[in-house]
């Protein structure tokens, strides 16, 4: 088995068994053998003479060839004491303290076992509503989200993952505006992704510019009328600001759900691709379609190897169905409904790699046609595989309450999930996303080594435009656009996520959704320059095209990102110009702040203080601000962090004109900016900031509401 260096790092850090000292106690090959043997044992439940060794070998070959991988909990836990193999859970929250805190307990157990949880808070009475048992007032859904968020903070998922939650509220709940803005402050509800459950009625009222009723879920009575447009505008504003909330088209989900007689679906898993009934879980897996190509003898190019893909789909469905039987979920209620419906979700990864091999641009009609063809084939083959299993093992127990009229082993068979860590292990592009960047910098002991997309390097060599200089430029900029030395058709083929107009992102999601039982994980990545109208357009287009939900993320819309420009922070020139401002700081004495500029704008701050102040601390603050500015963090973001800080020594001294030393530094920076007459660089474009992984310092990107490192697998949601 050939694994990339990054794949081995991810496996060692997150997946391999470890001894008491934290040293890996198994090899990657042993991990896949462990998983294959554990999952194959389920065959004995249906045939006491089953050849489990043969089945385990099939599963082992499937995984070690890196053509299929199951979701992370299966890789981590199969064949081990925990044996909790599901990634996705949804828990109900009813309108009582008993239900709410039972859900908190259940959530803790799920997170401890390695799963993520989704909730609908739509049944909870609104803030200020009457509580008859105490003659008090209800605190509302957002307050109980905070309880779960806090509980999640203290539970580490199986020792390997941080808890992730999805919070959903119906658009007609009286507290909807508070919910939409609950993550407005940076860092609030950091363990939650949030989405608004938008109904068909709401979308129609939005189109017709009409009001909707806000309904108290306790009484089912209308309590207020509000313009649909007013709610929608707040959703758009918040999504433009920081990527949340997303939208879940809840009626679309229920119109196509397979077991309507069992109740309505109200929520999804944390990344939105798996709608589930209360207490339901689902097991996911992804096929690496980058490996599904074969030489076309007529054209000499590559085409999809449909026969190979069909064989892998059938084996993968067998694998995922087995997972249900060997899985040990943390709650009996979850086991009952999971085994009653036997939902599985087979999806893909490596789609961008496949398109490049087929010479098909992502943002093209041919790209959309390829997406539909791939997913339609997987859907058909997965359904056939599920029917074949039903003939041998029986249909899922709740089939009489489903939409199926013929035997079927699994209520659902397809889901397009995010594949952050899995795609690193498989060394392919993530899920159905386009490339986020075409290169990254691998840090070595004595130098930074540029690593460029292997398909781009191969094409460059084949077409004769390869040079070390071009590859270094690509590594530094992460793009081939507007590069005269790269042919136009290659530029079109290698557009990155932020270089693709949002309608193509949405159309691609819709193309996959047409042939997917559950939902599709896809981030609609927008450049920093995107407008609120762009966000609005993406939301409306997603609804029109039949998507079940949508998440947008405007680049650099969150301050929490650690930002860096290109390969390294911009270098300091030998000569710069600036100003020094003197402040009297309470009892600390005189504070001197020097602010310098280079050709791109303010990039350096020196801070010196005397008296009873702390010179080392002041110097450190100046150095950190300088590093931030040279690394591409925008000045207004820096100023926002240091303005308004109060110091008792300053505010109690009548001669001091600033609130604190940080406030003085911000004043000095603003004075320099006013002197130059602009908040933007005077010469040339601002270096493009990128998110940097706190573990391996590689470039990160946004994937379904989480910053994800494509090199080491670090993610803020795990």
Confidence at residue 686, expressed as pLDDT on a 0 to 100 scale:
33
pLDDT at residue 660 is higher than 50: yes
pLDDT band at 689 (very low <50, low <70, confident <90, very high): very low
Here the tokens at position 38 are: 């554990």
Confidence at residue 611, expressed as pLDDT on a 0 to 100 scale:
64
Catalytic residue, chosen from 273, 663, 703, 718, is 273
Task: Say if residue 306 is in the same domain as residue 455.
Answer: no
Task: Say if residue 189 is in the same domain as residue 306.
Answer: no
Worst-scoring range by mean pLDDT, 428-432, 537-541, 553-557?
553-557
Which of 199, 233, 262 represents a domain boundary (last residue)? 262
DSSP 48-65: TT--HHHHHHHHHHHHHT
Task: Say if residue 326 is in the same domain as residue 202.
Answer: no
271 catalytic? Reply is: yes
Is the Cβ–Cβ distance between 47 and 31 less than 8 Å? no
DSSP 416: B
pLDDT at residue 567 is higher than 50: no
pLDDT at residue 687 is higher than 50: no
Confidence at residue 651, expressed as pLDDT on a 0 to 100 scale:
61
For residues 7-39, one letter each, b for 16 or more C-beta atoms within 10 angstroms of the residue's C-beta and e for the rest, the string is bebbbebbbbeeeeeeebebebeebbbbbbbbb
Q: Is the dihedral of CA 349, 353, 359, 365 positive or negative?
A: positive
Is 370 domain-assigned?
yes
Task: Say if residue 140 is in the same domain as residue 54.
Answer: no
Confidence at residue 450, expressed as pLDDT on a 0 to 100 scale:
56
pLDDT at residue 715 is higher than 90: no
Tell me the C-alpha to C-alpha distance, in Å, between residue 664 and each of 54, 553, 650, 653, 709: 72, 34, 10, 15, 37
- How far apart CA 138 and CA 293 sit, in angstroms, is 58
Task: Say if residue 218 is in the same domain as residue 127.
Answer: yes
Residue range 170-191: mean pLDDT, rounded: 94
Confidence at residue 698, expressed as pLDDT on a 0 to 100 scale:
66
Is 500 domain-assigned?
no
In 526-660, which residue ranges form alpha helices assigned H by DSSP?
A: 532-544, 615-630, 635-642, 648-651
Task: Say if residue 181 is in the same domain as residue 231.
Answer: yes
- How far apart CA 77 and CA 330 sit, in angstroms, is 13
Percent of the chain exceeding pLDDT 90 equals 66
Is the Cβ–Cβ distance between 69 and 75 less than 8 Å? yes
Residue range 318-343: mean pLDDT, rounded: 97
**Average model confidence (pLDDT) for the chain?**
89
- How far apart CA 450 and CA 439 sit, in angstroms, is 7
Task: Give pLDDT tens digits for 124-175.
Answer: 999 999 887 777 899 999 999 999 998 888 775 555 556 689 999 999 999 9
CATH number for the domain including 371? 3.20.70.20
Task: Say if residue 388 is in the same domain as residue 454.
Answer: no
Name the strand (E) or helix (H) holding 703. Answer: strand 699-703
Is the Cβ–Cβ distance between 174 and 126 less than 8 Å? yes
DSSP 494: T
Between 39 and 152, where is the model more confident? 39
pLDDT at residue 231 is higher than 50: yes
Catalytic residue, chosen from 71, 193, 242, 269, is 269
Confidence at residue 445, expressed as pLDDT on a 0 to 100 scale:
43
> How many domains, the chain?
4
Name the strand (E) or helix (H) holding 166. Answer: strand 165-170
> What's the pTM?
0.83
Is 547 domain-assigned?
no
Catalytic residue, chosen from 271, 661, 696, 712, is 271
pLDDT at residue 699 is higher than 70: no
pLDDT band at 455 (very low <50, low <70, confident <90, very high): very high
Is 572 domain-assigned?
no
Task: Give pLDDT tens digits for 405-445.
Answer: 999 999 999 999 999 899 999 999 999 999 998 986 554 44
Between 294 and 619, where is the model more confident? 294
717 catalytic? Reply is: no
Task: Say if residue 239 is in the same domain as residue 363.
Answer: no
Q: What phi, psi does 543 have (nearest 5°)?
A: -65, -45
Is 714 domain-assigned?
no
* Distance from the Cα of residue 692 to its chain's centroid: 15
Tokens 């879940």 map to which residue?
Answer: 248
Task: Say if residue 141 is in the same domain as residue 242.
Answer: yes
pLDDT band at 582 (very low <50, low <70, confident <90, very high): confident
Is 710 domain-assigned?
no
Is the Cβ–Cβ distance between 609 and 585 less than 8 Å? yes
Is 94 domain-assigned?
yes
Confidence at residue 629, expressed as pLDDT on a 0 to 100 scale:
83
Percent of the chain exceeding pLDDT 70 equals 90
Task: Give pLDDT tens digits for 510-533.
Answer: 999 999 999 999 999 999 999 999
Task: Say if residue 246 is in the same domain as residue 105.
Answer: yes
94 catalytic? Reply is: no
Q: Which domain holds residue 655?
A: 577-687
Confidence at residue 683, expressed as pLDDT on a 0 to 100 scale:
32
Tokens 């010469």 map to which residue?
Answer: 683
Task: Give the start-end residues of each E strand in 44-164.
Answer: 68-70, 88-91, 116-120, 130-131, 136-137, 156-157, 161-162
Is the Cβ–Cβ distance between 525 and 555 less than 8 Å? yes
Is 214 domain-assigned?
yes
Residue range 291-301: mean pLDDT, rounded: 92
Task: Give pLDDT tens digits for 78-87.
Answer: 999 999 999 8
Confidence at residue 688, expressed as pLDDT on a 0 to 100 scale:
42
Task: Say if residue 411 is in the same domain as residue 443.
Answer: no
Confidence at residue 187, expressed as pLDDT on a 0 to 100 scale:
80
pLDDT at residue 208 is higher than 60: yes
Which of 163, 718, 162 has the alpha carbon at shortest distance from 420?
A: 718
Is the Cβ–Cβ distance between 558 and 690 less than 8 Å? no
Task: Say if residue 33 is in the same domain as residue 61.
Answer: yes
For residues 113-141, one letter each, b for 16 or more C-beta atoms within 10 angstroms of the residue's C-beta and e for the rest, the string is bbbbbbbbbbbbbbeebeeeeeeeebbbb
């Amino acid at each position: 088995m050939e694994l990339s260096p990054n794949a081995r790092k991810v496996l060692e850090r997150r997946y391999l068994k470890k001894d008491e000292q934290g040293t890996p106690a198994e090899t990657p090959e042993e991990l896949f053998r462990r998983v294959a043997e554990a999952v194959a044992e389920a065959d004995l439940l249906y045939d006491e003479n089953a050849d489990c060794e043969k089945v385990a070998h099939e599963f082992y070959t499937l995984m070690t060839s890196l053509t299929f991988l199951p979701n992370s909990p299966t890789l981590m836990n199969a064949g081990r004491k925990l044996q909790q193999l599901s990634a996705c859970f949804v828990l109900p929250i009813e309108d009582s303290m008993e239900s709410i805190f039972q859900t908190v307990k259940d959530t803790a157990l799920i997170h401890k076992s390695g799963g993520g949880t989704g909730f609908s808070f739509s049944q909870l009475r609104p803030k200020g509503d009457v509580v008859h048992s105490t003659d008090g007032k209800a605190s509302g859904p957002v307050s109980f989200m905070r309880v779960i968020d806090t509980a999640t903070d203290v539970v580490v998922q199986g020792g390997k993952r941080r808890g992730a939650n999805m919070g959903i509220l119906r658009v007609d709940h009286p507290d909807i505006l508070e919910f939409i803005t609950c993550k407005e402050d940076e860092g609030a509800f950091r363990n939650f992704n949030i989405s608004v459950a938008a109904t068909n009625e709401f979308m129609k009222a939005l189109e017709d510019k009409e009001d909707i009723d806000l309904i108290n879920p306790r009484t089912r009575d209308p309590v207020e009328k509000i313009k649909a447009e007013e709610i929608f505008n707040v959703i758009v504003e918040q999504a433009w600001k920081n990527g949340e909330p997303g939208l879940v088209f809840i009626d679309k989900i229920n119109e196509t759900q397979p077991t309507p007689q069992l109740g309505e679906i109200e929520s999804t898993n944390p990344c939105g691709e798996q709608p589930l009934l209360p207490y339901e879980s689902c097991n996911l897996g992804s096929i690496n379609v980058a490996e599904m190509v074969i030489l076309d003898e007529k054209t000499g190019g590559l085409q999809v190897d449909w026969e190979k893909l069909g064989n892998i789909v059938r084996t993968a469905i067998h694998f995922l169905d087995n997972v249900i039987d060997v899985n040990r979920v943390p709650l009996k209620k979850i086991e009952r409904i999971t085994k009653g419906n036997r939902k599985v979700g087979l999806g893909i990864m490596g789609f961008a790699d496949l398109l490049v091999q087929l010479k098909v641009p992502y943002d093209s009609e041919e790209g959309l046609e390829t997406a539909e063809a791939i997913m339609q084939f997987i859907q058909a083959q997965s359904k056939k595989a599920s029917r074949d299993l039903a003939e041998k093992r029986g249909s899922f127990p709740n089939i009489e309450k489903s939409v199926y009229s013929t035997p079927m082993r699994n209520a659902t068979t397809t889901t397009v999930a995010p594949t952050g860590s899995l795609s690193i292990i498989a060394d392919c592009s993530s899920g159905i996303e386009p490339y986020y960047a075409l290169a990254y910098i691998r840090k070595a002991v004595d130098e930074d080594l540029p690593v460029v997309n292997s398909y781009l390097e191969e094409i460059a060599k084949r077409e004769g435009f390869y040079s070390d200089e071009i590859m270094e430029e690509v590594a530094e900029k992460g793009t081939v656009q507007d590069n005269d030395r790269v042919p136009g058709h290659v530029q079109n083929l290698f557009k990155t996520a932020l270089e693709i107009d949002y309608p193509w992102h949405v159309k691609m999601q819709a193309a996959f959704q047409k042939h997917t039982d559950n939902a599709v994980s896809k981030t609609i990545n927008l450049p920093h320059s995107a407008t609120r109208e762009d966000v609005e357009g993406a939301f409306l287009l997603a609804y029109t095209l039949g998507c079940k939900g949508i998440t947008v993320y405007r680049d650099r819309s969150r301050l929490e990102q650690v930002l860096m420009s290109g390969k390294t922070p911009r270098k300091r020139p030998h000569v710069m110009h600036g100003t020094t401002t003197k402040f009297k700081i309470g009892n600390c004495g005189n504070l001197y702040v020097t602010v310098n500029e280079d050709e791109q704008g303010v990039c350096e701050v020196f801070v010196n203080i005397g008296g009873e102040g702390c010179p080392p601390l002041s110097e450190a603050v100046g150095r950190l601000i300088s590093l931030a500015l040279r690394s591409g963090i925008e000045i207004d973001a820096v100023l926002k962090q240091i303005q308004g800080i109060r110091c008792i020594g300053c505010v109690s001294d009548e001669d001091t004109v600033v609130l604190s030393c940080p406030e003085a530094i911000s004043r000095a920076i603003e004075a320099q900016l006013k002197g130059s007459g602009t908040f933007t660089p005077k010469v040339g474009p601002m270096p493009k900031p990128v998110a940097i992984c706190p573990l391996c310092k590689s470039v990160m990107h946004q994937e379904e509401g989480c910053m994800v490192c494509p090199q080491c697998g670090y993610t803020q949601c795990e």
